[in-house]
């Protein structure tokens, strides 16, 4: 990683690596001549240059308000005396990214890092929203080391179906489940399809996008109140304008990202992740972002932090409401105020002031019912628990706040699927030997397995069980699940099956014991038997002959390292987070 202090202490256009056409004076002369082709005056070019990542794309309706956001950010920059310069980077829209958006997250982070370093800018506004974009931008910016500020695109509005409030995409799953169980017909499911995504913006529940928005604010990477305004609102545009103005101040103060992304900031973010009942994906993303700053995530310490962090935000899929309601309830200020005794209030934010100082000046509290008090939480512990055992020597996680209480202490018979194709072929078969007490096991959907660790960990309820009214069943995989999903679902089993983790050697009929209270995930098969199976059918890790897939398969790390590429992580380890 380049030394951010060295780099950011020089004016844009003069940084290391840029001065390469003859002498420094000529280099600047040449660059000015070319940018003047766009019609700039010297006065404009004398201002702090603020880069803005334009991540609009026709394939990404979650960023569909990009033109308005860009206009508002540019206005904020100019009002504060800077020169805005927008430039494109990769955009990843969750629903169209094949084989999975996670496969592309590191590519976007590399694009972001390199374009931040390649082009002269004194600070950068990162505009992201859809699930993988904010993590990718924070990873890239962390490695680039410049002053950087995050602007969230904002959530979509909620829709309405036959009098019921609906939103993407917890309700997508719920209605599809009802359709599969033959509770609703083809006409009704088609009607629902029009209502689930009623505007541009990110998913309206506490899925990965909303979770990462809250985490970005908790990290101190957005202006206060930057997480929750919906995409199409005036509040969102005011946040965009304020973000542009803040970026100019950051440039003037040389407020580089390493002053913001500290141990304390990561601990605040983890606290918030637990308290919002946030997406399990955020653990992987936070691990990757922290890894870019030289911090390793201690999953056991995170689990201990969960014991003293109740879920307070009543949003789907763990609760009842949607992002627009969280915003109306005062947004993150309401939550952070409630969490105050558990936070590092001295952590610095992009405004140059601490989280505590910003909270003092936040709008006054008022009565609302979306953010609960610590005395009366949605769920007494953090949303996510970390499991360990012979089936997951490197750990696994479960979103306990979205799981069925009666299944959290459960022993059952394994019904094994060897991959996505096997699952698709057999899950709805009437011949599938399965009961509601069994445990569905899905192999080969880890970081290398699928590849890209797809969100296929939300294994559908077998149709024959769905028809009997079964709503939940224990499911285990090395994949991820959408932050908008719910159920008793064990994810991120590490090491993954494709590289020979114990999950690869589970067979139909094996007994598995899940105990969330003891944080245990045990395969009740002897070590000798597992070794025998491993010898009998060894795993060959997947490989590719060329291109990005080759790079991906050769360098991607496991979930406990954030599924980042090994060569992108900061090699100097500074410590472990959280310290709890």
95 binds, among Mg ion, ligand FES, none (CB under 5 to 8 A by kind): ligand FES
User: What is the sign, positive or negative, of the torsion defined by CA atoms of 157, 160, 164, 168?
Assistant: negative
Provide the minimum distance between the beta carbon of 121 and ligand FES in the complex, in angstroms, as a whole number: 27
Binding to Mg ion in span 337-396, by CB under 5 A: none
Query: Is the Cβ of residue 128 or residue 502 nearer to ligand FES in the bound state?
Result: 128
Report the DSSP pairing between strands 83-88 and 49-54: parallel
482 binds, among Mg ion, ligand FES, none (CB under 5 to 8 A by kind): Mg ion
Provide the minimum distance between the beta carbon of 277 and ligand FES in the complex, in angstroms, as a whole number: 17
Candidate ranges 82-90, 322-330, 332-340, 474-482; the one touching Mg ion (CB under 5 A): 474-482
Candidate ranges 106-114, 201-209, 269-277, 355-363; the one touching ligand FES (CB under 6 A): 201-209
Torsion of CA 192, 195, 196, 197, to 10 degrees: 150
CA distance 196 to 182: 20
Binding to ligand FES in span 152-181, by CB under 6 A: 168
Cite the DSSP H helix spans in 80-132: 101-118
Query: Is the Cβ of residue 100 or residue 482 nearer to Mg ion in the bound state?
Result: 482
Provide the minimum distance between the beta carbon of 158 and ligand FES in the complex, in angstroms, as a whole number: 14
Detail the DSSP E strand segments found in 304-383: none
Closest of 560, 378, 399 to residue 475, by C-alpha: 399
User: What does 251-283 look like in DSSP terms, one character per residue?
Assistant: HHHT--GGGTS-HHHHHHHHHHHHHTT--THHH
* Residue 564 interacting with ligand FES (CB under 6 A): no
* Residue 204 interacting with ligand FES (CB under 6 A): no
CA distance 564 to 452: 11
- DSSP assigned state of 448: T
- DSSP assigned state of 68: H
* Residue 209 interacting with ligand FES (CB under 6 A): yes
Provide the minimum distance between the beta carbon of 200 and ligand FES in the complex, in angstroms, as a whole number: 10
Which helix (H) or strand (E) covers residue 409, if one does?
A: strand 409-417
Query: Is the Cβ of residue 4 or residue 229 nearer to ligand FES in the bound state?
Result: 229
Residue from 8, 208, 210, 444 binding Mg ion (CB under 5 A): 208
CA distance 512 to 321: 35
Residue from 54, 94, 217, 455 binding ligand FES (CB under 6 A): 94
Residue from 482, 488, 557, 561 binding Mg ion (CB under 5 A): 482
Query: Is the Cβ of residue 379 or residue 486 nearer to ligand FES in the bound state?
Result: 486
Q: Are 12 and 48 in contact (CB under 8 A)?
A: yes
104 binds, among Mg ion, ligand FES, none (CB under 5 to 8 A by kind): none
- Residues forming beta bridges with residue 53, ordered by sequence position: 87
Provide the minimum distance between the beta carbon of 487 and ligand FES in the complex, in angstroms, as a whole number: 18
Q: Are 272 and 339 in contact (CB under 8 A)?
A: yes
- Residues forming beta bridges with residue 126, ordered by sequence position: 150
Residue from 2, 68, 95, 435 binding ligand FES (CB under 6 A): 95
CA distance 144 to 239: 24
3-state secondary structure of 555: helix
Number of chain residues interacting with Mg ion (CB under 5 A): 4
Query: Is the Cβ of residue 140 or residue 207 nearer to Mg ion in the bound state?
Result: 207
Provide the minimum distance between the beta carbon of 276 and ligand FES in the complex, in angstroms, as a whole number: 15
- DSSP assigned state of 478: S
Residue from 49, 138, 203, 270 binding ligand FES (CB under 6 A): 203
* Residue 455 interacting with ligand FES (CB under 6 A): no
Provide the minimum distance between the beta carbon of 130 and ligand FES in the complex, in angstroms, as a whole number: 3
3-state secondary structure of 108: helix
130 binds, among Mg ion, ligand FES, none (CB under 5 to 8 A by kind): ligand FES
Number of chain residues interacting with ligand FES (CB under 6 A): 10
Residue from 122, 131, 358, 496 binding Mg ion (CB under 5 A): 131
Scored b (16 or more CB within 10 A) or e, 12-49 reads: bbebeebbeeeeeeebbeebeeebeeeeeeeeebebbb
**Contacts of 35 by beta carbon, 8 Å cutoff, 6+ apart:** 45
What the block records as the tokens of 254 is 């040389």
Candidate ranges 21-29, 123-131, 183-191, 225-233; the one touching Mg ion (CB under 5 A): 123-131
3-state helix, strand, coil split of the chain in percent (to 5) is 40, 15, 45
* Residue 202 interacting with ligand FES (CB under 6 A): yes
Provide the minimum distance between the beta carbon of 183 and ligand FES in the complex, in angstroms, as a whole number: 25
Residue from 28, 52, 62, 434 binding ligand FES (CB under 6 A): 62
Q: Are 512 and 523 in contact (CB under 8 A)?
A: yes
Binding to ligand FES in span 120-139, by CB under 6 A: 130-131
Query: Is the Cβ of residue 158 or residue 208 nearer to Mg ion in the bound state?
Result: 208
CA distance 66 to 53: 10
Candidate ranges 202-210, 258-266, 546-554, 555-563; the one touching ligand FES (CB under 6 A): 202-210
User: Where do contacts with Mg ion occur on this chain (CB under 5 A)?
Assistant: 131, 207-208, 482
User: Where do contacts with ligand FES occur on this chain (CB under 6 A)?
Assistant: 62, 94-95, 130-131, 168, 202-203, 207, 209
């Amino acid at each position: 990683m380049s030394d951010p202090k060295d780099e950011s202490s020089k004016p844009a256009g003069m940084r290391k690596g840029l001065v390469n056409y003859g002498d420094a004076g000529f280099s600047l002369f040449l660059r000015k001549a070319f940018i003047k082709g766009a019609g700039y005056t010297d006065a404009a070019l004398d201002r702090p240059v603020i880069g803005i990542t334009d991540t609009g794309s026709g394939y990404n309706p979650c960023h569909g308000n990009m033109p308005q956001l860009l206009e508002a950010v540019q206005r904020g920059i100019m009002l504060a005396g800077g020169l805005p310069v927008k430039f494109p980077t990769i955009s990843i829209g969750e629903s169209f990214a094949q084989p999975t958006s996670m496969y592309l997250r590191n590519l976007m982070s590399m694009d972001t890092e390199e374009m931040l370093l390649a082009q002269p800018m004194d600070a950068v506004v990162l505009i992201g929203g859809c699930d993988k974009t904010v993590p990718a931008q924070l990873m890239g910016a962390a490695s680039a080391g410049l002053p950087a500020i995050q602007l969230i695109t904002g959530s979509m509005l909620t829709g309405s179906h036959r009098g019921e409030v609906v939103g993407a995409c917890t309700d997508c799953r719920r209605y599809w489940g009802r359709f599969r169980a033959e509770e609703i017909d083809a006409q009704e499911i088609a009607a629902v399809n029009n209502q689930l995504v009623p505007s541009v913006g990110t998913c309206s529940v506490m899925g990965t996008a909303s979770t990462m928005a809250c985490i970005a604010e908790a990290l101190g990477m957005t202006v206060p109140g930057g997480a929750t305004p919906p995409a199409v609102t005036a509040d969102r545009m005011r946040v965009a304008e304020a973000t542009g103005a803040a970026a100019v101040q950051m440039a003037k103060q040389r407020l580089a990202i390493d002053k913001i992304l500290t141990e304390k900031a990561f601990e605040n973010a983890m606290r918030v992740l637990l308290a919002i009942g946030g997406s399990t994906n955020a653990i992987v993303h936070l691990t990757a972002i922290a890894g870019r700053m030289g911090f390793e995530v201690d999953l056991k310490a995170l689990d201990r932090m969960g014991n003293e962090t109740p879920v307070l935000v009543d949003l789907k899929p763990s609760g009842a409401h949607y992002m627009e309601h969280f915003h109306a309830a005062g947004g993150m200020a309401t939550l952070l105020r409630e969490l105050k005794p558990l936070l590092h209030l001295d952590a610095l934010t992009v405004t140059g002031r601490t989280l505590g100082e910003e909270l003092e000046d936040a709008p006054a509290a008022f009565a609302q019912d979306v953010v609960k008090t610590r005395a009366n939480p949605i769920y007494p512990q953090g949303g996510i628990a970390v499991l360990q055992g012979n089936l997951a020597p490197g750990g696994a996680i479960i979103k306990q706040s979205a799981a069925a209480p009666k299944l959290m202490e459960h022993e059952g018979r394994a019904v094994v699927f060897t991959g996505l194709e096997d699952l698709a072929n057999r899950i709805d078969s009437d011949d599938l030997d399965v009961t509601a007490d069994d445990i569905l096991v899905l192999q080969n959907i880890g970081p290398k397995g699928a590849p890209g660790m797809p969100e296929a960990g939300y294994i559908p309820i077998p149709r024959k069980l769905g028809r009997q009214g079964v709503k939940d069943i224990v499911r285990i995989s090395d994949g991820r699940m959408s932050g908008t999903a719910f159920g008793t679902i064990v994810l991120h089993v590490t090491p993954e099956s494709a590289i020979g983790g114990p999950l690869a050697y589970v067979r139909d009929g094996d007994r598995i014991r899940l105990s969330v209270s003891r944080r245990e995930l045990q395969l009740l098969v002897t070590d000798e038997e597992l070794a025998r199976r491993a010898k009998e059918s060894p795993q060959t890790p997947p490989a590719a002959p060329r291109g990005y897939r080759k790079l991906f398969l050769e360098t991607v790390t496991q979930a406990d390292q954030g599924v980042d590429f090994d060569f992108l992580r900061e090699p100097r380890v500074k410590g472990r987070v959280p310290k709890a």
